A and B are shown apart, each in its own frame.
Chain A
Amino acid sequence: GNSVTQMEGPVTLSEEAFLTINCTYTATGYPSLFWYVQYPGEGLQLLLKATKADDKGSNKGFEATYRKETTSFHLEKGSVQVSDSAVYFCALSDRGGGFKTIFGAGTRLFVKA
């Protein structure tokens, strides 16, 4: 069955550091891939997505590239800010899985000033 594995947290960085949160997946078909973010005290919201191989999703300075050959969708940001402190969830959805979205366990990011 489909699954998503993302790096365990928490991840603690200083402001302006480079961020990578790893995400790999297993899917029977050709899934769409997503990163969702949950800021403290707020609801989950979509951060970015990619729907086919080699697509790059981007938003708010974050990027992730759909790598079919390595079944990965790593989240990156060149220079994090304190306001990026949140929990980040990698997810996939595909036709083979009945379109049910599968979430990773989440990675908590702390950014220190």
Chain B
Amino acid sequence: GAGVSQSPSNKVTEKGKDVELRCDPISGHTALYWYRQSLGQGLEFLIYFQGNSAPDKSGLPSDRFSAERTGGSVSTLTIQRTQQEDSAVYLCASSSWTSGSSGDTQYFGPGTRLTVL
């Protein structure tokens, strides 16, 4: 497909379980972001991958959260030992860095709605 895809679209899990959320960015996009959006709230930045650079993990709320990006494409966000406060919509976005530009449009996926019971 032409857009950013995320899976699953919905995930219900029990407190204490681990979950993995997947993001397929637009082909060729060098930058990939993960955000969290709680009901009625703004975007909370989690992690940012740009090309082969070390990821910016400054937004990860705790060491239960981790993410990787394999081969510069697909990314997986892992939440270990989930807590009820982790319930939110997790959004992925990708963009293409253009040499000489100062920033490019982000294209968002539909999100994964995580519910921790």
Contact = CB atoms under 8 A, between A and B. Distances in A.
Contact of A101 (B53, B95, B101): B95
A29 interface: yes
A103 B42 contact: yes
Interface string B41-83: 1110100101001001000000000000000000000000000
A89 interface: yes
B43 A103 contact: yes
A46 B106 contact: yes
Contacts of A93: 102-104
A96 to B, nearest CB: 9
B109 interface: yes
A62 interface: no
Contacts, number: 70
B111 interface: yes
Given A99-B50, A100-B48, A103-B42, A34 B105 contact: yes
A92 B101 CA distance: 13
A105 interface: yes
Nearest to A52: B102
B103 A31 contact: yes
B103 A43 contact: no
Contact of A98 (B50, B107, B109, B110): B50
A106 B43 contact: yes
B50 A43 contact: no
A94 B102 contact: yes
B91 interface: yes
B42 A104 contact: yes
B45 A44 contact: no
A81 B81 CA distance: 45
A43 B42 contact: no
Contact of B108 (A29, A32, A45, A100): A45
